[in-house]
């Protein structure tokens, strides 16, 4: 079904050198395939990772609560509740640190797998021009102590707060494209508020894009509509802390409907240019990479086929 709640996922306490925090792996628990979503809870002064750079994966952090700092190479900037932070692939080395009131964030990103082959008996891996020798232990043990600089005034474009982004309003629905405002290139993060009874969007299913949703406030239902022209939706209750993973190619359309108190959620997705989106209610198809929407006539697989 692809749904869990962050209270039902085992928390993992990690402490190594300067790094310490509580990790909750939400994406895998909800059934994601190649996408990740991890809740990171930091006590005052804690730092979860060394400064690091991803070669392929773009990361997006959403601050659930508290405040603190983010490091971008040698510069530090303040972050607070409601912030969306985009860490671009192959850009600045980055990490975060909690302030006096702690820091609670969700980190989204596509899982990164190195295209290499390991030789476990010899302790090596193939590289383009030779091989890499594997070592026992943990690479964080080699990290020098990080001395945090004082935060700079202002903030770069890659950090935006939800309250500073103008919403797109349609039919009791307010959508803020936080990731676009923060300059994301490969992934997206939207903040969606719905009045009671309102849908988050038309029921739809993706062929290539993977999505993860986290409910921030209110209550409502996740509506899943299976394959078939006349299939009826199944409703599953959601509330603050509910996490929903929608891998691509399931043939099951999804949407959210707000309950009596309304519903607020964040939606993260992979923005695959090869994605095709199917809308079963209207029989539309959206070829997203080329920006074309059309309507087709659904047919049975064997319609018009003559087999001898």
Residue 306 forms part of a structural domain: no
Torsion of CA 266, 267, 271, 272, to 10 degrees: 160
Q: Rg (Cα) of the chain, in Å, rounded? A: 22
Span 17-55, pLDDT tens digits: 999 999 999 999 999 998 899 999 999 999 999 999 988
Return the percent helix, strand and coil in the chain, to nearest 5. Answer: 5, 50, 45
Q: Which two tokens stand for residue 131?
A: 């091989």
Span 157-188, pLDDT tens digits: 999 999 999 999 999 999 999 999 999 999 99
Q: How confident is the model at residue 226 (pLDDT cuts 50, 70, 90)?
A: confident
Q: How confident is the model at residue 235 (pLDDT cuts 50, 70, 90)?
A: very high
| One domain for residues 105 and 190 | no
| One domain for residues 13 and 117 | yes
| One domain for residues 132 and 244 | no
| One domain for residues 262 and 286 | yes
Q: What is the CATH number of the domain that holds 89?
A: 2.60.120.10
Residue 182 forms part of a structural domain: yes
Classify 122 as helix, strand or coil: coil
| One domain for residues 10 and 44 | yes
Q: What pLDDT shows up at residue 72? A: 97
Residue 303 forms part of a structural domain: no
Rounded Cα gap, residues 126 and 130, in angstroms: 6
Rounded Cα gap, residues 264 and 82, in angstroms: 12
Question: What is the model's pTM?
Answer: 0.93
Mean pLDDT score of the chain, rounded to an integer? 94
Residue 109 CB partners (closer than 8 Å, separation 6+) = 35, 36, 54, 57, 58, 59, 60, 187
Q: Which two tokens stand for residue 36?
A: 């990740």
| One domain for residues 27 and 68 | yes
- Residue after which a domain boundary falls, among 101, 136, 159: 159
Rounded Cα gap, residues 29 and 38, in angstroms: 10
Strands in 226-270 per DSSP E: 234-239, 242-246, 253-269
What's the structural domain count of the chain? Answer: 2
Q: What pLDDT shows up at residue 308? A: 63
Span 67-121, pLDDT tens digits: 999 999 999 999 999 999 999 999 999 999 999 999 999 999 988 777 778 888 8
Q: What pLDDT shows up at residue 64? A: 98
- Residue after which a domain boundary falls, among 119, 138, 159: 159
Measuring CA to CA, which residue among 55, 186, 26 is closest to residue 113? 55
Classify 180 as helix, strand or coil: helix
Report how far apart, in Å, the C-alpha atoms of 272 and of each of 115, 241, 289 are: 20, 26, 8
- Residue after which a domain boundary falls, among 159, 184, 218: 159
Residue 3 CB partners (closer than 8 Å, separation 6+) = 30, 222, 236, 238, 242, 243, 244, 245
| One domain for residues 218 and 128 | no
Boundaries of domain holding 130: 3-159
Position 257 pLDDT exceeds 90? yes
- Classify strands 253-269 and 211-225 as parallel, antiparallel or unpaired: antiparallel
Residue 300 forms part of a structural domain: no
How much of the chain, in percent, has pLDDT values that exceed 70? Answer: 98
Residue 282 forms part of a structural domain: yes
């Amino acid at each position: 079904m692809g749904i869990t709640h962050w209270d039902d996922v085992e928390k993992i306490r990690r402490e190594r050198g300067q790094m310490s925090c509580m990790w909750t792996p939400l994406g895998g628990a909800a059934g994601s395939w190649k996408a990740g979503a991890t809740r990171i809870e930091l006590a005052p002064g804690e730092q979860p990772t060394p400064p690091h750079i991803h070669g392929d994966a773009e990361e997006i952090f959403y601050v659930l609560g508290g405040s603190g700092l983010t490091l971008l190479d040698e510069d530090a900037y303040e972050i607070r509740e409601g912030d969306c932070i985009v860490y671009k692939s192959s850009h600045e080395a980055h990490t975060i640190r909690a302030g006096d009131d702690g820091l609670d964030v969700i980190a989204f990103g596509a899982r990164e797998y190195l295209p290499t082959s390991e030789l476990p008996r010899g302790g090596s891996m193939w590289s383009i021009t030779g091989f890499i020798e594997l070592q026992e232990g943990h690479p964080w043990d080699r990290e020098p102590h990080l001395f945090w600089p004082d935060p700079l005034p202002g903030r770069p474009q890659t950090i935006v707060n939800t309250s500073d982004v103008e919403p797109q309003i349609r039919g009791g629905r307010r959508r803020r494209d936080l990731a676009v405002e923060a300059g994301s290139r490969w992934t997206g993060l939207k903040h969606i508020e719905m009045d009671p009874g309102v849908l988050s969007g038309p029921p739809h299913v993706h062929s290539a894009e993977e999505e993860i949703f986290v409910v921030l406030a209110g209550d409502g239902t996740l509506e899943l509509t299976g394959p078939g022209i006349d299939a009826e939706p199944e409703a599953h209750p959601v509330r603050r802390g509910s996490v929903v993973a929608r891998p691509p190619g399931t043939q099951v359309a999804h949407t959210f409907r707000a309950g009596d108190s309304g519903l607020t959620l964040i939606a993260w997705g992979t923005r695959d240019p090869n994605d095709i989106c199917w809308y079963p209610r209207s029989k539309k198809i959206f070829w997203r990479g080329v920006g074309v929407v059309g309507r087709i006539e659904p047919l049975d697989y064997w319609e018009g086929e003559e087999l001898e």
